Amino acid sequence: MGRILVVILGLGAVCAALYMFLNQGATKVGQERPAQALENVRVKAKDIESDAQRRADDALKKSDLAR
């Protein structure tokens, strides 16, 4: 009788932890406001574009030096 009670309580604890992880964990991670998320994308895109432009300028300078 005691073993069955321990198993039932253990399963209940595991189910409760899983429920909390799946429902509350996802809302905290992805709860950014859409405007803030879009701003993060814009900033990252600007960083990528400036890095690509810098690399293109460096490549152009190297090719001019080779001539």
Rg (CA), the chain: 27
Whether residues 37 and 67 share a domain: the answer is: yes
44 shares its domain with 58: yes
d(CA 35, CA 52): 26
Question: Quick one: 44 and 22 in the same domain?
Answer: no
Same domain, 39 and 18: no
The span from the CA of 29 to the CA of 32, in Å, is 8
44 and 62 share one domain: yes
Q: What is the pTM of this model?
A: 0.47
* Residuewise pLDDT in 10s, the chain (67 residues): 889 999 999 999 999 999 988 887 555 555 667 888 889 999 999 999 999 999 999 999 988 876 6
Shared-domain flag, residues 7 and 36: no
Note the pLDDT of residue 44: 97
Q: Which domain holds residue 24?
A: 1-31
Residues 23 and 3 in one domain: yes
Q: What is the pLDDT of residue 31?
A: 61
Residue whose pair of structure tokens reads 């595991």 in the numeric block: 14
pLDDT score of 32: 62
* Number of domains, the chain: 2
- How many whole angstroms separate alpha carbon 21 and alpha carbon 26? 7
